Structure 1
Amino acid sequence: MDFSSIRKFITRWCAGEENWVDTRTVYIGNKEPPPGAEAYIPQRYPDNRIISSKYTFWNFVPKNLFEQFRRIANFYFLIIFLVQLIIDTPTSPITSGLPLFFVITVTAIKQGYEDWLRHKADNAINQCPVHEVQHGKVIRKQSRKLRVGDVVLIKEDETFPCDLILLSTSREDGTCFVTTASLDGESSHKTYYAVQDTKAFNTEEDFDTLQASIECEQPQPDLYKFVGRINIYSDRNEPIARPLGSENLLLRGATLKNTQHIYAVAIYTGMETKMALNYQSKSQKRSAVEKSMNAYLIVYLCILISKALINTVLKYVWQADPDKDEPFYNQKTDTERQRHIVGYKTTIIFMQ
């Protein structure tokens, strides 16, 4: 047993070193490091399944209603409808309830259909075939079954199934050309570079003998930022360490061009890829029109509530005068507090 490795792990865990917390270790080919190297610590990473849909069959109704009533306009008309149901007002609840029901229903149908299309697109992407290098052979598997550490073979005009570190290419100089139009809109070909110590690996058998690990930062959405290093184990006591940068990182969604084939290792998969992280952050944003409309509605609601409050106070002052009796149609059985609350709600209905 290598007690030095165990002691190093315990020290890092207790001290909480920053580079230990903010980095991940990926073993190429998911092979354990050779004896004498740093202790092998299995880590759990998500599979390569992409989920761009928002709803499932079970959460569609509550989640969709919650998202729709987060809009100030819908929530306002819901409150007006409930007030009309609770108190006796001269206007029918149908006048606000029926249009609200129509808008909510049509929006739910539209969003449900769009989400169904996203489910279909996700299934097509997740079942797309990829070629993995395993035990010196190329096997075919579904994209969703890729794991971090798997070595994959990508051919010309194929799209990268996940974020990859380039190990070798069919070009002698170890470069490949990639188009990232689907990520950043740039149609020009960009050049990426293979790791210097693995660019000579040209066959699947070569990768079966490779023992290496990659230490890199945790997933983050910046497309142009990546920092890491690769440790290549050999017969020497210390592994060979090489730095890795964004020029070695192939992003999911990009396409291989003018290069016959490449070999690369999966570094970020599924919802941890940079493309997925950017999609998640954008899907939570609201449009500028909705933001401005919400601001106008808040101002309108403040004015409406203030006017209703002023009218209720003036009514209370008027009714406090003993010389002025209440109209005959006001109920005498309610308490004074109840009458003021009902009067305030009725005023809001009148002034909306």
Structure 2
Amino acid sequence: MGSNKAENRVFQLNKDLSGKYCSNKVCTSKYTWWSFIPKNLFEQFRHMSNIYFLLVMIINSLPGMEIYSMFTAIFPLAFILIVTAIKDAYEDIRRHITDYKTNSKPVRAIRLGKSTSFSTMKTSDVSVGDFIFMRKNQEIPCDFLLLYSSEDGGVSYVNTMNLDGETNLKIKRSSISTYQALNFQKLDHSYTPTEDYLDEMRGYKKKDKEKVLKKREKEQKNQKDEGKEKTAKELKKQQEEDAMFAPASWEEKILCHAEQNLSKSLCSWAGNVECEAPSRSLINFAGKLTLDNVYTQSSKQQQSPLITEVNQSKQIPDSSPLTQSQSIDTDNDEENKKKRLKRLDTVQPIPMDDSQLLLKGCFLKNTAYAVGVCVYTGKETKMQQNTQPPKSKMSHLEYRLNWIIGIFFLVNDVIVILHAILQTVLENKSGKQHPYLFLTEAPTNSNSFVAFLINAGGAFVLYSYIIPISLFVSIELARIFQMFFLENDIFLSEGDEDEEQKKDDELNKSNKELKNLKDKLEGAKNSELVKEQ
């Protein structure tokens, strides 16, 4: 455990802890409806070009410096800001949609104090202390301690590619104590789940099934579409509708049977979990699970098989499931037997480490199901602790453009200063001699500097197009079209996971065959050498 016990997290298993710890809601979006305009304008004015054209617009609006109309000055900058804002809004709306889909993913869980069986809830509603039931190929919604799995010994296999980029499966193993406490009789072929329970596990509602039935009744009455070929989309939808009414498969029977048996055991649990405070470390974890009524119930009906066996035979078995390494030796000393019996009737904490911790973002693989208790949610999960909040990034092209614009800005300033100096000198010398310049009188020494500033401002606006505003409009439009083409390019689409797995299996099979062939050739070669000798 941690060095400072005050920082350790302790929570009860049989209490509703929703709202006590941080939410499990995922948020990757940058803007909200009320912060979009100020925040987006701030982000856009980080670009040198936008500051430059804003300065041109302000100077053109000052008295005596007007070169062209106000609309002509405002329109180019406003057009760039609006196009960029539309692009940013579209991207952030897609982030909101992705967050909504992630937060709305169904999870089978028990919240003690509110329910007595596994029910479907949203990922965002999962809280610390909930018991989670995970199925094969599901993404783990939170950090939870593994208590039981379908594999022997409580073994589970997880894919941690989202965390460390590794594609090989990691092995997680539940504590022997929790595995034995939750172990139940395997599925009987005669078992069949009820229709309501099966629909709930599949994620279907009665309303959805009733709509499909009414729709099919109408189609049978009309019979207009008979003989008409259906599109791929219509066929896929029909397959999804047929799945609603399909009988329970063997795999679904296993899952329903496991849920019902595990929920009965978990709802009778009472105790607490103590673990370290949330941290960024992906490989370090320490905690303990204390169960008050699994091994130490005084009632004969709820006693552990181990204690029942001891009470009936008055003999200590060879090993105890209280801890993974605890063992009890037997002898004929009655005093030692009494001490051991007393030790069995006390609460024994079950140690937990990183081998029992399944992290958010991993995928359960090669394991039919696994059950655990949630310990960290939302921002406190290992994945979120190692994920930096979305930052406003600038591409390499944007950095280069800022430098280029800065250079052109300096060149423009030099030209403007030379223009203003020459214009002021010309006005001083030629005010009355050249009436066509509309200079009725030469400026005095007192207002020569003011005339220089006015001339410089007008020249700055006049030469502002040395930096073409159309360049930035073209860049924004090019990005929008490139994003569209990249997203819809079928040659860049990701392959089917099952097909990739088949390819890997075929490759492994070919490698084994080549290895066997190589071993046979080497064996034949060695036998020939032996014969020659």
Q: Does the pair score TM above 0.5?
A: yes
1:326-341 equivalences in 2 (<5 Å): 329=439, 338-341=450-453
Q: Is the 8 A contact 1:158 1:256 kept in 2?
A: yes
Which position in structure 1 is the counterpart of 2:457? 345
Q: Is the 8 A contact 1:180 1:186 kept in 2?
A: yes
Q: Is the 8 A contact 2:146 2:358 kept in 1?
A: yes
Q: How far apart in 2 are the matches of 1:289 and 1:278?
A: 28
Q: Is the 8 A contact 1:157 1:257 kept in 2?
A: yes
Q: CA deviation at 1:255?
A: 1.4
Which position in structure 2 is the counterpart of 1:6? none
Q: How far apart in 1 are the matches of 2:51 and 2:104?
A: 41
**CA-atom RMSD in angstroms:** 3.9
The answer to whether 1:86 aligns with 2:194 is no
1:262-301 equivalences in 2 (<5 Å): 262-276=370-384, 280-301=388-409
Q: Deviations over 1:129-178 (max 9, x none)?
A: 21112445212222221112212111112111122232322222222111
Alignment partner for residue 276 of structure 2, among 188, 210, 216?
Answer: 216
Q: Is the 8 A contact 1:130 1:140 kept in 2?
A: yes
> Which amino acid letter does the alignment assign opposite residue 351 of structure 2?
R
Q: How far apart in 2 are the matches of 1:347 and 1:186?
A: 60
Q: How far apart in 1 are the matches of 2:395 and 2:176?
A: 46
The answer to whether 1:104 aligns with 2:216 is no
Q: CA deviation at 1:81?
A: 1.9
Q: Is the 8 A contact 1:219 1:268 kept in 2?
A: no
Which position in structure 2 is the counterpart of 1:27? 11
Alignment partner for residue 194 of structure 1, among 174, 177, 180?
Answer: 174
Which position in structure 1 is the counterpart of 2:286? 228
Structure (1/2) with the larger strand percentage: 1
1:307-326 equivalences in 2 (<5 Å): 307=414, 311=418, 324=429
Query: Relative to structure 1, is the Cα distance of residues 207 and 63 closer, same or farther in structure 2, using a 3 angstrom cutoff?
Result: same
Q: Percent identity?
A: 28
Q: CA deviation at 1:57?
A: 2.6
> Which amino acid letter does the alignment assign opposite residue 146 of structure 1?
V
Q: Which moved more, 1:61-70 or 1:87-96?
A: 87-96
Q: How far apart in 1 are the matches of 2:284 and 2:390?
A: 21
Q: Which moved more, 1:260-269 or 1:205-214?
A: 205-214
Give the match's secondary structure for 1:252: coil
Q: Is the 8 A contact 1:226 1:249 kept in 2?
A: no
Q: CA deviation at 1:258?
A: 0.7
> Which amino acid letter does the alignment assign opposite residue 114 of structure 1?
E
Q: How far apart in 2 are the matches of 1:46 and 1:229?
A: 20
The answer to whether 1:69 aligns with 2:45 is yes
Q: Is the 8 A contact 1:28 1:214 kept in 2?
A: no
Q: CA deviation at 1:180?
A: 2.9
Q: How far apart in 2 are the matches of 1:152 and 1:228?
A: 20
Alignment partner for residue 102 of structure 2, among 125, 136, 140?
Answer: 125
Q: Is the 8 A contact 1:149 1:267 kept in 2?
A: yes
Q: CA deviation at 1:350?
A: 4.3
**Unaligned stretches of 5+ in structure 2?**
183-261, 297-342, 432-436, 465-533
Which entry has the higher C-alpha Rg, 1 or 2?
2
The answer to whether 1:242 aligns with 2:301 is no
Q: Is the 8 A contact 1:179 1:188 kept in 2?
A: yes
Q: Is the 8 A contact 2:144 2:358 kept in 1?
A: yes
Q: Is the 8 A contact 1:164 1:265 kept in 2?
A: yes
Give the match's secondary structure for 2:153: coil
Q: Is the 8 A contact 2:417 2:456 kept in 1?
A: no
Query: Relative to structure 1, is the Cα distance of residues 337 and 101 closer, same or farther in structure 2, using a 3 angstrom cutoff?
Result: same
The answer to whether 1:163 aligns with 2:163 is no
Give the match's secondary structure for 1:187: coil
Give the match's secondary structure for 1:204: helix
Q: Is the 8 A contact 1:155 1:262 kept in 2?
A: yes
> Which amino acid letter does the alignment assign opposite residue 211 of structure 1?
G
Query: Relative to structure 1, is the Cα distance of residues 323 and 345 closer, same or farther in structure 2, using a 3 angstrom cutoff?
Result: closer
Give the match's secondary structure for 2:26: coil
Aligned residues: 321
Give the match's secondary structure for 2:124: helix
